[in-house]
Chain A
Amino acid sequence: MVSECTACGYLAYPPRLLCPGCGGSSWRPRPAGAGVATEVTVRRPVFERRQLPSGEWVEEEPTRLGAVSTEGGVRIIARLEAGIEAGGRVALVRRDGVAVAVEGS
């Protein structure tokens, strides 16, 4: 979901307090919708293990990430499902609390 300014239609992701377009403070949620993965990378972890703020250690795995330009004109940094390449059309869903790009429009 992205946030749409109810006064001028500006789309924000992540959400803002005041609209950069008109200064308005009223927002409504809107589906992020479909888009194109404009750039793709595989992020290798900086370290093999990392410690979460809770103190727990986790093993790090490479992650496929992409910049997705949505039809509404918002750029969303997303985790990519396998098979998505640069230039591919994707749909954005929310999974594990983050944006995930899946195949399809």
Chain B
Amino acid sequence: MSAGSEARIVGAAEATYERHPAPERETETFIAEAVVAALADAGIEHGEVDGYGVASFSLAPDHAIDLTWKLGLTVNWLMEDTNGGASGVNMLQHAVRAIEAGDAETIVLSSGDRLDKRDFHLMTDSYNKAVRDYLARLPLSGPNALFAFITERYGAAHGLEREDFACVPIAQRAWATMNPGAAYREPLTLEEYLDSVPVAPPLGRYDCVPIVSGGDAIVVTSAERAARLGRPSVGVRAIRALYNPDHQDGNGIETGFSTIRDDLWAAAGVRPEDVGAAFVYDDYPVMVLVQLADLGLIPDGDVKRYLHRTLLEGRWPVNTSGGQLSAGQAGAAGGMHGLVEAIRQLLGRAGERQVEGLELALATGYGMVLYSHGACHNAAVLERHS
């Protein structure tokens, strides 16, 4: 995907994340709310939509076509994505191509999950066959322990202690105080972080995402249609992806992002230092650092200095919604959460937390732990068109 793609993102929205949804609020309820809100944000009529994509862990027995029916859509392009934290950028990559090829003109991409305790365990214990057969009965119950190992490994490699990793959730929480949709909105202190309930040491409570139910959606259309809206839009300068780069033989801290880095920036025609904000998949603080470093945003490799000087003191904008660590992880919607925030920021609709003069941003997707670490890596360089 080369710079200057002829597709534009014109709207983005999130159905309010809920920690304890009422029984009648199902996965599809959240998805529908996000779709309606994204279309309203875009100024696009429901009847104009001719493409639809959805990512969710909890749609079964429904699929994308059932949602199409329930949402009252008739489409020429249909996609269901099962790549969790990498689903948002993956669907965007395909949607941009579909619009460029003329297969569809206006595509709504959506995601969402309703997860209560039982759903959460069923999802994590049977995430895939390898987890079900080789990990669930350890018992593992979700990926916290796996990312404890990765955090330990990364900390040893870069000389980082808990005080250093703390910079990620603390900095993101400072942004979350300005996001009315975040699950956690009170400032987080270092003491609270260090004294928090251990989850899987070195990981504590604030290294883990609060589990919420919710939905996210974006609207992608042709540059021509976007121009007729007469408002700013967001272009995709480049998307690059890499799936299963190491067959799970790697250490989880040297990732596929480093493999796609040079090609991503070359295709985008810009450099890492040109972006004014980054929206990276934050299932755990360590993965924020891994992605920023592997994609070239910590050029001198001094992660410790970056954490304290750039992120915490400098308030360089990373995950300005508060990220999933503060806003919550709504299952597969977590794969679109950063993208929605990136688009809000680039469109100048981020309210109190608006990054002034933002023209270029990075948004990433990561995830799908096959056995020991995530196998999906994708990244988009996004650009504001005024």
Contacts and interface: CB of A to CB of B under 8 A. Distances in A.
Interface of A: 13-14, 16, 20, 38-39, 41-47, 50-53, 60, 63, 65-67, 73-75, 77-79, 86, 96-99
B309 to A, nearest CB: 28
Pick from A13, A66, A77, A99 the residue with the most CB of B within 10 Å.
A77
A75 B117 CA distance: 30
B316 interface: no
B145 A43 contact: yes
A50 B117 contact: yes
A41 B200 contact: yes
Interface in B134-160: 134-135, 137-142, 144-146, 148-149, 152-153
Interface in B95-151: 117-118, 120-122, 125-126, 130, 133-135, 137-142, 144-146, 148-149
Contacts of B125: 52-53
Contacts, number: 93
A96 B134 CA distance: 11
24 contacts: A14-B130, A20-B247, A39-B152, A41-B148, A41-B202, A42-B198, A43-B145, A43-B199, A44-B197, A44-B199, A46-B211, A50-B141, A65-B138, A66-B149, A67-B149, A75-B251, A75-B372, A77-B138, A77-B140, A77-B149, A78-B138, A96-B137, A98-B138, A99-B134
A2 to B, nearest CB: 11
A52 B125 CA distance: 9
Interface string B228-248: 000000000000000000011
A42 B138 contact: no
Given A50-B117, A53-B126, A75-B372, A43 B140 contact: yes
Contacts of A41: 145, 148-149, 152, 200-203
Interface string B183-214: 00000000000000111111100000001000
Contacts of B300: none
Contacts of A78: 138
Given A39-B149, A42-B201, A44-B200, A65 B134 contact: no
B249 interface: yes
B371 interface: yes
B249 A14 contact: no
B245 to A, nearest CB: 11
A29 B53 CA distance: 42
A43 B149 contact: no
Nearest to B139: A63
B141 A60 contact: yes
Contacts of B134: 13-14, 77, 98-99
B5 to A, nearest CB: 33
Given A77-B371, A96-B137, 12 more contacts: A38-B149, A41-B149, A41-B203, A42-B198, A42-B201, A43-B141, A44-B197, A46-B199, A50-B117, A98-B134, A99-B134, A99-B138
Nearest to A19: B247
Contacts of B118: 51
A73 B251 CA distance: 12
A94 B125 CA distance: 19
A65 B142 contact: no
List 5 tightest A-B contacts by C-beta distance, closest first. A39-B149, A41-B148, A43-B145, A39-B152, A20-B247
A39 B153 CA distance: 7
Contact of A50 (B121, B146, B201, B202): B121
A53 B256 CA distance: 34
A63 B141 CA distance: 11
A3 B120 CA distance: 31
A54 to B, nearest CB: 11
Contacts of B211: 46
B130 A65 contact: no
A2 B203 CA distance: 30
Contacts of A67: 149, 372
A46 B249 contact: no
A79 to B, nearest CB: 5
A81 B291 CA distance: 34
A38 B199 CA distance: 19
Given A44-B199, A47-B117, A65 B247 contact: no
B146 A77 contact: yes
